[in-house]
């Protein structure tokens, strides 16, 4: 039987925006606001991938944004004003972003933007927004290497995911031999290049690297290549659900029992569909794991699920995009006014509390230091095995 296609198709995405994704006010959405109310509403825009086979991440981004707005509006807003958000489909094509940004600013009146998901997209959006002096808070993975006066990064960089993961596998599991496998987008390719030199300096060996087409589900030829190298660990970076096929096929071909899969970007939304045996081969580093019993994580998880359903999977994109909204609120309160300029001023050098602990935005690079944990897959999902503490982003650039 052919599996049902659960991806959001473009016409469905447009219906979703029209019905519920246009603007979130008091945690709910509406695309038309009364003219008399607009003066009192703080309008932000969000760029999320409603189409392009990344809708699972759009849902996670929205979980975080909507939860933060509901929380802020329910406790008096920001400087006495409610926040509303308008969503636009960023697709997974960076070239559409200047127009999406223009729509959010000129047609919606956004004074700050959040997103996009695709790493390359932050460059396209920031270059357009720099002409308007509008802040962009990006909260997804990227390889650094790009700074802008209007860009603030709250998502993991290579220092916080790839380097942290390799360091753990070296120090705790004495793994020295690797194969690198990712999908084609430039973020993975750049990240793998950034990892190689420090790995060689630590005495590691990279026995091969493959980048597949986005959406590729046939991993058997690569698995046979990995088997020939006798590699102990695969550094794996395929962000979408089809990455599970690698685990299924590795198990089928007898590779999995002898392999550690260091899955960069693995999160709680990817657990469903994997067997306990497949899950226990996975190790990842992350700014958030839903099972974390410490700090404010249980309360955050409870608030998200009270609004969006008790069985809702919650990955780190929900947390980082929640942080994006909270950072804007803190920046406006720090500046004492609500405007694009006040956000730009307030975000520089800002420190604020998140459900996982303190987050600090460096004033020179405008990238965030954040707490990072190591987690392993298990029959009960992702479980933390080590807390690495706050890790600096080291993006390799500054303003």
245-270 pLDDT, tens digit per residue, is 999 999 999 999 889 999 999 999 99
Give me the CATH number covering residue 110: 3.40.50.2300
Per-residue pLDDT tens digits for 140-193 = 999 999 999 999 999 999 999 999 999 999 999 999 999 999 987 678 889 999
Return the pLDDT at 214: 84
Q: Are residues 80 and 184 in the same domain?
A: no
Query: Same domain, yes or no, for 55 and 101?
Result: yes
In a domain, 291, yes or no: no
Q: What is the residue-averaged pLDDT of the chain?
A: 90
User: Who wins on pLDDT, 10 or 397?
Assistant: 397
Does the pLDDT at position 20 exceed 70?
Answer: no
pLDDT at 116 over 60: yes
Q: Is 235 among the domain residues?
A: yes
**How far is the C-alpha of 86 from the C-alpha of 17, rounded, in Å?**
9
Q: From CA 4, how far away is CA 234, in angstroms rounded?
A: 30
Pair 94, 191 in one domain:
no
Kindly tell me if the per-residue pLDDT of 14 is higher than 80.
Answer: no
Residue 183 falls inside a structural domain = yes
* 62 assigned to some structural domain: yes
Question: Angle, nearest 10°, between helix axes 55-74 and 316-335?
Answer: 40
Residue 258 falls inside a structural domain: yes
Mean pLDDT value of segment 187-203:
92
In a domain, 60, yes or no: yes
* pLDDT for res 189: 86
What are the residues whose beta carbons fall under 8 Å from the beta carbon of 397, sequence distance 6 or more? 144, 145, 146, 147, 365
Three-class secondary structure of residue 270 per DSSP: helix
Same domain, 18 and 129: yes
Query: b/e string for 235-256 if b means 16 or more Cβ within 10 A?
Result: bbbbbbbbbbbbbbbbbeeebb
**How many structural domains compose the chain?**
2
Residues 195 and 274 in one domain: yes
Q: Would the pLDDT of 356 be above 90? A: yes
Domain range for 386: 162-286+373-391
Distance separating alpha carbons of residues 376 and 371, to the nearest angstrom: 17
Whether residues 15 and 150 fall in one domain? yes
Please tell me whether residues 254 and 136 are part of one structural domain: no
- 71, 146: one domain: yes
């Amino acid at each position: 039987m052919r599996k049902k296609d659960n991806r959001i198709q473009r016409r469905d995405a447009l219906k979703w925006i029209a019905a519920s994704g246009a603007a979130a006010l008091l945690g709910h959405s509406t695309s038309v606001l009364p003219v008399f109310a607009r003066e009192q509403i703080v309008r932000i825009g969000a760029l999320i991938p409603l189409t392009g086979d990344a809708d699972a991440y759009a849902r996670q981004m929205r979980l975080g944004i909507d939860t933060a707005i509901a929380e802020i509006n329910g406790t008096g807003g920001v400087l006495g004003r409610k926040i509303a958000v308008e969503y636009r489909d960023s697709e997974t094509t960076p070239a559409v972003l200047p127009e999406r940004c223009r729509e959010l600013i000129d047609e919606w009146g956004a004074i700050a933007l959040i997103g996009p998901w695709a790493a390359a997209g932050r460059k396209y959006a920031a270059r357009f927004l720099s002409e308007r002096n509008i802040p962009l808070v990006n909260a997804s993975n990227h390889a650094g290497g790009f700074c802008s006066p209007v860009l603030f990064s709250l998502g993991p960089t290579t220092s916080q995911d790839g380097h942290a993961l390799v360091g753990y596998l070296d120090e705790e599991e004495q793994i020295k031999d690797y194969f690198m496998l990712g999908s084609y987008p430039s973020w993975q390719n750049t990240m793998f290049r950034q990892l190689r030199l420090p790995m060689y300096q630590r005495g590691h060996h990279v026995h091969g690297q493959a980048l597949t087409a986005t959406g590729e589900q046939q991993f058997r030829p690569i698995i046979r290549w990995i088997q020939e190298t006798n590699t102990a660990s695969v550094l794996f970076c395929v962000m979408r659900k089809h990455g599970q096929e690698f685990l299924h096929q590795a198990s089928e071909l007898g590779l999995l029992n002898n392999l550690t899969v260091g899955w960069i970007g693995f999160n709680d939304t990817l657990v469903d569909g994997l067997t306990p045996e497949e899950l226990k081969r996975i190790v990842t580093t992350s700014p958030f794991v839903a099972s974390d019993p410490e700090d404010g994580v249980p309360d955050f998880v409870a608030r998200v699920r009270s609004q969006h359903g008790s069985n809702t999977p919650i990955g780190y994109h929900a947390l980082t995009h929640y942080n994006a909204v909270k950072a804007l609120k803190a920046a406006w309160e720090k500046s004492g006014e609500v405007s694009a300029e006040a956000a730009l001023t307030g975000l520089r050098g800002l420190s604020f509390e998140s459900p996982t602990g303190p987050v600090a935005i460096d004033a020179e690079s405008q990238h965030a230091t954040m707490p990072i944990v190591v987690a392993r897959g298990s029959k009960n999902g992702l479980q933390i095995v080590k807390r690495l503490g706050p890790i600096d982003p080291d993006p390799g650039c500054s303003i």
